[in-house]
Amino acid sequence: MSRPTRVSLPPGARRAIAAHARETYPAECCGFLVGHRGRIGFAVRMRNVAGSARRYRIDDRAHIELRRILRACAPPLEIVGVYHSHPDGPATPSDTDCAEAHYSGWVHVIVACDGRRTRFGAFRIAHHRWRRLVLA
Q: Is residue 49 part of a domain?
A: yes
* pLDDT for residue 1: 46
Q: Is residue 117 part of a domain?
A: yes
Residues 71, 47 contacting (CB under 8 angstroms): no
Residues 58, 30 contacting (CB under 8 angstroms): yes
Residues 91, 105 contacting (CB under 8 angstroms): no
Range of the domain at 35: 6-135
Q: Is residue 1 part of a domain?
A: no
Q: Is residue 21 part of a domain?
A: yes
Q: What is the mean pLDDT of each run of 10 residues along the chain (136 residues)?
A: 79 98 96 95 97 91 97 94 97 96 94 96 95 94
What CATH code is carried by the domain that includes residue 102? 3.40.140.10
Task: State in Å, rounded, how far the first CA of the chain is from the last one.
Answer: 20
4 Cβ neighbours under 8 A, 6+ residues apart: 131, 132, 133, 134
> What is the total count of domains within the chain?
1
